[in-house]
Amino acid sequence: MTQFGNHLREWRNARRMSQLDLALEADVSARHISFLETGRSEPSRPMILHLSDILDIPRERRNDMLEAAGYAAIYQRSPLDSAQMTRLQSAMLTLINQHDPYPAIVKDRLWTIVEMNEMAKGLFGIAGLNKGDNMLEYMAQPGVCAQAIENWGEVGHHVLTRIRNESRALGGVPELDDAVVALSQDPDIAAHSPETPLPPIISTVYRAGDLRLPLFSTFAQFGGAEDLSLTELNIELMFPADEHAEATLRALAGATPEPA
């Protein structure tokens, strides 16, 4: 089996597709898929990209498949502060800054905080989280999240499921898998038993002294992104879960000085 064939077989199995399933989706014969996996046939670049679309392979892994077949990688990773990314970075900052007085953060695929708006800086700063910090490492610290989040067992269970799914979708990411192991050993998460019926959405109830702030999140990404730096970014926009949280955020914003 060739290196490319190995990649193809692994992704086909990860997506729980037989050679016949993949062949039908790709409009080729099952024999051709078999020959690609064993190395008896060499794939064209369009065929690699076609199969990657069907198997929903992340762009970074598509580069691996192209290079394994002898082709140049086509997906680039550009620094966010590079000239060609200036307008995109500006759009991202506009989105999160206009979200004030509600918190908003941008994190990468390994859950490192890339950007924060002013409200997020204030609230996350209380917990010791700042731009450049890794949220997975923070959550892996025993008892830390349980002190900052009132319903950590429920929230942590949701986060654990999300991280596990993200790693699976990316074909396995060691850092995410390590976080899954760490969170699985968290006693609050292990003891969590979902309520029935489930609420429409899970709110995270942040606690700091007398401050109690229930927030829920929605997530955004760059549509049509092809650069790896953009495809791996996740924009989290948080909203108040009740009227008291709304009033608290607006009061905090009024007490926070304008950024220099």
Note the pLDDT tens digit of each residue in 42-97. Answer: 999 999 999 999 999 999 999 999 999 999 999 999 988 888 888 899 999 999 99
> What is the CB neighbour count within 10 angstroms for residue 208?
12
How far is the C-alpha of 191 from the C-alpha of 173, rounded, in Å? 26
User: Structurally, what CATH architecture does the domain formed by 3-68 represent?
Assistant: Orthogonal Bundle (1.10)
The CATH fold of domain 83-255: Beta-Lactamase (3.30.450)
Nearest to 145 by CA among 214, 192, 205: 205
Q: At 104, is the secondary structure helix, strand, or coil? A: strand
**pLDDT the model gives residue 1:** 59
Q: Which residues of the chain have pLDDT under 50?
A: 256-260
**pLDDT the model gives residue 260:** 35
Q: Which amino acid is at 181?
A: V
Give domain limits for the chain: 3-68, 83-255
Give CA torsion, residues 104, 105, 106, 109, to 10 deg: -120
Matching residue, tokens 């670049």: 45
pTM of the model: 0.85
**Side-by-side strand order, sheet with 113-116:** 113-116, 104-107, 234-240, 211-220, 204-208
**pLDDT the model gives residue 258:** 45
